[in-house]
């Protein structure tokens, strides 16, 4: 599948000073009541220093299986492979937290996953991040899970 030109949906800035350490994120999201999901806290604590990345801006596309003509029931791992072959990228986990902070006008009805590597949490299994309205939550990110055709992922544009 050749790379195609993807329209930029949003641009997220990551690696910002004062907003990339685990302590910063815990304060912002757990103490700030942007989530009550214990998986988010577990993701932050599990990633720790891996959250610290070089400051950069990443252009994002918002796509799902239907953008590639895939039916519902496509495995997450297969979707990610097709997505990457078409010029989209997996995001660092911190991008989900930065997008949540920067995207302050997200409609309550808009929901999407972050295209990121799954994070194995002993208590919850493989997890990823899911944004909706003004909230961020953890969700199952098992690569063998089937996706609904309507689901969407925020992905990096290569």
Q: Of the ranges 19-23, 33-37, 73-77, 143-147, which one carries the lowest mean pLDDT score? A: 33-37
Please report the pLDDT score of residue 3 as a whole number. Answer: 67
Within-domain flag for 149 = yes
Within-domain flag for 2 = no
Tens of pLDDT, residues 84-100: 999 999 999 889 989 98
Strands 153-157 and 111-114: parallel
Within-domain flag for 130 = yes
Most confidently modeled range among 26-30, 48-52, 120-124: 120-124
For the chain, what is the domain count? 1
From the CA atom positions of the chain, what is the Rg in Å? 15
Strands 56-63 and 135-140: unpaired
Within-domain flag for 134 = yes
If you average pLDDT over residues 27-38, what whole number do you get?
Answer: 74
- The range of the structural domain enclosing residue 21 comes to 10-157
Within-domain flag for 5 = no
Q: Compute the distance between CA of residue 16 and CA of residue 140 in angstroms, rounded to an integer.
A: 28
Within-domain flag for 3 = no
């Amino acid at each position: 599948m050749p790379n195609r030109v993807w329209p930029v949906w949003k641009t997220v800035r990551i690696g910002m000073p004062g907003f990339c350490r685990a302590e910063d994120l815990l304060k912002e999201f757990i103490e700030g009541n942007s989530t009550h999901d214990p998986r988010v806290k577990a993701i932050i604590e599990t990633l720790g220093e891996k959250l610290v990345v070089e400051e950069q801006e990443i252009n994002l596309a918002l796509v799902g299986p239907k953008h590639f003509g895939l039916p519902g029931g496509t495995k997450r791992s297969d979707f990610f492979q097709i997505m990457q072959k078409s010029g989209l990228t997996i995001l660092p986990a911190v991008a989900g937290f930065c997008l949540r902070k920067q995207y302050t006008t997200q409609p309550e009805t808009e929901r999407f996953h972050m295209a990121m590597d799954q994070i194995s949490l002993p208590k919850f299994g493989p997890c990823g991040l899911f944004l909706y309205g003004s909230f961020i939550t953890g969700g199952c990110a098992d690569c063998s899970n089937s996706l609904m055709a309507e689901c969407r992922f925020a992905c990096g544009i290569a």
